[in-house]
Structure 1
Amino acid sequence: MNLNIDVDHEGNNKYVSLSGEIDAYTAPKLKETILPLTQDAEATVVVDLQQVTYMDSTGLGVFISALKSTKEYGGNLKLIQLQERVYRLFKITGLTEVIDIETDSTVRGGM
């Protein structure tokens, strides 16, 4: 399967909606898209993972890189609407302790 990436900008907020699978094949495309967004000073990058059906460790690596980049540039990274199997991957690896993961679907309206 493929990965579809939609990006929307609202001021300092960058919204990324993903659908499909994040694996060794699609992760480079995701990294190429998301890292430049994290390099805007004080930007908040919100990634909607509701339509992501599968993710492997390469996907985790992309989000770790994005987290490091947002911290370096004084921004924030927030992941929203993760499916249970994808959330479990973040939980098992301990990344739920370092990445802001929001389960409430009203994040975009409440920023």
Structure 2
Amino acid sequence: MNLEIRQETKENLHLLHLSGEVDAFTAPKLREVLIPLTEQSGMRVIVDLSDVEYIDSTGLGIFIGALKSTHNYDSHIQLQGLSSRLHRLFKITGLDEVIDIEDQEKEGKQ
């Protein structure tokens, strides 16, 4: 499966809507879009994962890299719309403790 990225920008907010899978094949595409956004001082980046079905370790690594970038550039990243499956993945890996994840899990997707 592919990864589709739709981007909206409003002042100091970037909203990325992801759809598909984030894996070793699609992660470079996500990195190419996401990391430069986090390298803009004072920017908020919200990543909507409502339509993401799968994330592997390479994909998790992209989010870790983005988080490190936010610390270096005084920006912020938040993940939202995680299915219960994706929320569990972030919890198992402990990433839910360091990445800002919107509390409300997406209803109905497991």
TM-score normalised per structure 1: 0.91
Structure 1 contact 82–103 (Cα < 8 Å) conserved: no
Separation of aligned partners in 2, 1:104 and 1:5: 22
Q: Is 1:48 paired with 2:51? A: no
Separation of aligned partners in 1, 2:96 and 2:30: 20
Residue type of the partner of 2:19? S
Residue equivalent to 2:108: none
Deviations 1:24-69 (A, max 9, x none): 0000100011001011111000000000001110110000000010
SS in 2 for 1:7: strand
Q: Is 1:63 paired with 2:67? A: no
Residue equivalent to 1:26: 26
Q: Once superposed, which parts of structure 1, at least 4 consecutive aligned residues long, lie more than 3 Å away?
A: none
Percent identical pairs in the alignment equals 54
Q: Which runs of 5+ in 2 are unaligned?
A: 106-110
RMSD: 1.1
SS in 1 for 2:32: helix
Residue type of the partner of 1:35? I
Residue equivalent to 1:7: 7
Aligned residues: 105
Counterparts in 2 of 1:97-108, with a 5 A limit?
A: 97-104=97-104
Q: Which runs of 5+ in 1 are unaligned?
A: 106-111
Separation of aligned partners in 2, 1:12 and 1:76: 10
TM-score normalised per structure 2: 0.92
Structure 1 contact 90–96 (Cα < 8 Å) conserved: yes
